[in-house]
Protein backbone atom coordinates (compact mmCIF):
# COMPACT_ATOMS: atom_id res chain seq x y z
CA UNK A 1 0.00 0.00 0.00
CA UNK A 2 1.35 3.37 -1.05
CA UNK A 3 0.10 6.57 0.63
CA UNK A 4 -1.52 9.00 -1.81
CA UNK A 5 -2.98 12.50 -1.76
CA UNK A 6 -5.41 14.40 -3.94
CA UNK A 7 -3.28 16.37 -6.39
CA UNK A 8 -6.22 18.20 -7.93
CA UNK A 9 -9.83 17.92 -8.96
CA UNK A 10 -10.73 18.97 -12.49
CA UNK A 11 -14.44 19.79 -12.58
CA UNK A 12 -16.25 20.00 -15.90
CA UNK A 13 -19.88 20.46 -16.76
CA UNK A 14 -22.00 17.67 -18.17
CA UNK A 15 -21.79 15.76 -20.42
CA UNK A 16 -17.99 15.60 -20.03
CA UNK A 17 -16.44 13.71 -17.12
CA UNK A 18 -14.51 15.38 -14.34
CA UNK A 19 -11.21 13.98 -13.06
CA UNK A 20 -9.94 13.26 -9.58
CA UNK A 21 -6.15 13.31 -9.82
CA UNK A 22 -4.18 11.43 -7.16
CA UNK A 23 -0.43 11.20 -6.61
CA UNK A 24 1.82 9.20 -4.32
CA UNK A 25 2.53 11.17 -1.15
CA UNK A 26 6.22 10.41 -1.19
CA UNK A 27 6.80 10.98 -4.90
CA UNK A 28 9.12 13.91 -5.29
CA UNK A 29 9.81 15.73 -8.49
CA UNK A 30 12.68 13.90 -10.09
CA UNK A 31 13.82 14.90 -13.54
CA UNK A 32 10.95 17.40 -13.55
CA UNK A 33 8.18 14.82 -13.22
CA UNK A 34 6.16 12.73 -10.82
CA UNK A 35 3.36 10.18 -11.21
CA UNK A 36 -0.36 10.95 -11.17
CA UNK A 37 -3.42 8.71 -11.31
CA UNK A 38 -6.47 10.30 -12.95
CA UNK A 39 -9.85 8.81 -12.07
CA UNK A 40 -12.82 9.88 -14.18
CA UNK A 41 -15.86 10.86 -12.10
CA UNK A 42 -19.30 12.24 -12.87
CA UNK A 43 -20.52 15.76 -12.16
CA UNK A 44 -22.34 14.78 -8.94
CA UNK A 45 -19.27 12.94 -7.64
CA UNK A 46 -17.02 15.88 -8.52
CA UNK A 47 -19.37 18.19 -6.63
CA UNK A 48 -19.13 16.00 -3.50
CA UNK A 49 -15.35 15.84 -3.81
CA UNK A 50 -15.18 19.62 -4.18
CA UNK A 51 -17.30 20.11 -1.06
CA UNK A 52 -14.98 17.78 0.86
CA UNK A 53 -11.77 19.36 -0.47
CA UNK A 54 -12.93 22.88 0.35
CA UNK A 55 -14.44 21.89 3.72
CA UNK A 56 -17.71 23.53 2.68
CA UNK A 57 -20.49 23.39 5.25
CA UNK A 58 -23.96 22.96 3.78
CA UNK A 59 -27.14 24.14 5.53
CA UNK A 60 -28.56 20.61 5.32
CA UNK A 61 -26.60 17.35 5.45
CA UNK A 62 -25.54 15.88 2.13
CA UNK A 63 -25.52 12.10 1.62
CA UNK A 64 -21.85 11.76 2.61
CA UNK A 65 -22.43 13.87 5.74
CA UNK A 66 -25.40 11.69 6.68
CA UNK A 67 -23.29 8.55 6.26
CA UNK A 68 -20.54 10.01 8.45
CA UNK A 69 -23.07 11.06 11.10
CA UNK A 70 -24.46 7.51 11.12
CA UNK A 71 -21.09 5.79 11.50
CA UNK A 72 -19.97 8.34 14.11
CA UNK A 73 -23.12 7.66 16.15
CA UNK A 74 -22.28 3.96 15.92
CA UNK A 75 -18.85 4.72 17.46
CA UNK A 76 -17.07 4.06 14.18
CA UNK A 77 -14.58 6.13 12.23
CA UNK A 78 -13.03 5.93 8.78
CA UNK A 79 -9.67 4.27 9.27
CA UNK A 80 -8.41 4.54 5.69
CA UNK A 81 -9.25 4.13 2.02
CA UNK A 82 -7.47 1.75 -0.35
CA UNK A 83 -7.72 1.99 -4.13
CA UNK A 84 -7.22 -1.70 -4.73
CA UNK A 85 -7.93 -2.45 -8.39
CA UNK A 86 -8.37 -1.01 -11.85
CA UNK A 87 -10.06 -2.75 -14.76
CA UNK A 88 -9.88 -0.70 -17.92
CA UNK A 89 -11.00 2.78 -16.87
CA UNK A 90 -12.93 1.54 -13.82
CA UNK A 91 -11.26 1.84 -10.41
CA UNK A 92 -12.23 -0.09 -7.29
CA UNK A 93 -11.66 0.82 -3.66
CA UNK A 94 -12.24 -0.35 -0.13
CA UNK A 95 -13.40 1.85 2.72
CA UNK A 96 -12.05 0.64 6.07
CA UNK A 97 -13.98 1.60 9.20
CA UNK A 98 -12.66 1.26 12.73
CA UNK A 99 -15.16 0.38 15.45
CA UNK A 100 -14.37 -0.82 18.97
CA UNK A 101 -10.96 -2.18 18.00
CA UNK A 102 -12.12 -4.01 14.90
CA UNK A 103 -11.82 -3.08 11.24
CA UNK A 104 -14.83 -3.31 8.92
CA UNK A 105 -14.13 -3.39 5.18
CA UNK A 106 -16.68 -1.99 2.71
CA UNK A 107 -16.62 -2.00 -1.08
CA UNK A 108 -16.95 1.59 -2.34
CA UNK A 109 -16.54 3.68 -5.45
CA UNK A 110 -13.27 5.63 -5.19
CA UNK A 111 -15.10 8.96 -5.50
CA UNK A 112 -17.32 8.14 -2.51
CA UNK A 113 -14.49 6.65 -0.46
CA UNK A 114 -12.21 9.64 -1.08
CA UNK A 115 -15.04 12.12 -0.34
CA UNK A 116 -15.67 10.42 2.99
CA UNK A 117 -11.98 10.14 3.87
CA UNK A 118 -11.39 13.83 3.12
CA UNK A 119 -14.23 14.77 5.48
CA UNK A 120 -12.54 12.87 8.33
CA UNK A 121 -8.91 13.49 7.36
CA UNK A 122 -8.42 9.75 6.93
CA UNK A 123 -5.41 8.51 4.95
CA UNK A 124 -5.64 7.37 1.34
CA UNK A 125 -3.67 4.47 -0.13
CA UNK A 126 -3.26 2.77 -3.49
CA UNK A 127 -2.02 -0.72 -4.26
CA UNK A 128 1.39 -0.61 -5.93
CA UNK A 129 0.12 -2.73 -8.82
CA UNK A 130 -2.69 -0.22 -9.48
CA UNK A 131 -0.23 2.68 -9.35
CA UNK A 132 2.04 0.93 -11.83
CA UNK A 133 -0.82 0.17 -14.26
CA UNK A 134 -2.80 3.42 -14.00
CA UNK A 135 -0.28 6.20 -13.39
CA UNK A 136 1.05 8.71 -15.86
CA UNK A 137 4.09 10.94 -15.61
CA UNK A 138 3.18 14.54 -14.81
CA UNK A 139 5.87 16.80 -16.16
CA UNK A 140 6.45 20.04 -14.29
CA UNK A 141 7.95 22.76 -16.47
CA UNK A 142 9.02 26.34 -15.84
CA UNK A 143 8.45 29.32 -18.16
CA UNK A 144 11.49 28.41 -20.26
CA UNK A 145 9.94 25.03 -21.04
CA UNK A 146 12.56 23.16 -19.05
CA UNK A 147 11.72 20.79 -16.21
CA UNK A 148 11.36 22.54 -12.86
CA UNK A 149 14.24 21.94 -10.45
CA UNK A 150 13.93 21.18 -6.73
CA UNK A 151 15.41 24.64 -6.03
CA UNK A 152 12.71 26.35 -8.13
CA UNK A 153 10.01 24.38 -6.33
CA UNK A 154 11.47 25.32 -2.93
CA UNK A 155 11.62 29.01 -3.90
CA UNK A 156 8.03 28.95 -5.18
CA UNK A 157 6.83 27.17 -2.03
CA UNK A 158 8.57 29.79 0.12
CA UNK A 159 6.98 32.61 -1.91
CA UNK A 160 3.47 31.10 -1.70
CA UNK A 161 3.82 30.39 2.02
CA UNK A 162 4.57 34.04 2.77
CA UNK A 163 1.88 35.66 0.61
CA UNK A 164 -1.30 37.15 2.08
CA UNK A 165 -4.52 38.57 0.60
CA UNK A 166 -3.36 42.05 1.65
CA UNK A 167 -0.54 41.78 -0.89
CA UNK A 168 -3.20 42.08 -3.63
CA UNK A 169 -5.08 45.12 -2.31
CA UNK A 170 -4.63 48.38 -4.15
CA distance 79 to 97: 5
Q: What is the per-residue pLDDT for 12?
A: 85
Reported as a pLDDT band with limits 50, 70 and 90, residue 164 is low
- pLDDT per residue as tens digits for the range 51-80: 999 988 888 988 999 999 999 999 999 999
66-124 pLDDT, tens digit per residue, is 999 999 999 999 999 999 999 988 999 999 999 999 999 999 999 999 999 999 999 99
Distance (Å, rounded) from C-alpha 28 to C-alpha 157?
Answer: 14
**Cβ atoms of 110 and 93 closer than 8 Å:** yes
Burial of residue 107 (CB within 10 Å: 0-12, 13-18, 19+) is: exposed
Give the residue extent of every domain in the chain. Answer: 2-165
Any idea which fold 2-165 has?
A: Bifunctional nuclease domain (3.10.690)
- Beta carbons of 81 and 64 less than 8 angstroms apart: no
pTM equals 0.78
- The percent of residues above 90 in pLDDT, for the chain, comes to 56
More confident residue, 79 or 34: 79
Amino acid sequence: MIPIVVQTLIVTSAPGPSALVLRPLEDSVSDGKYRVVPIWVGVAEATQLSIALEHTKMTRPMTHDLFLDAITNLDARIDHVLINDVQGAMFFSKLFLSQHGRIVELDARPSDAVSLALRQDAPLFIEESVLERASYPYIVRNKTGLPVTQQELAEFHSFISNISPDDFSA
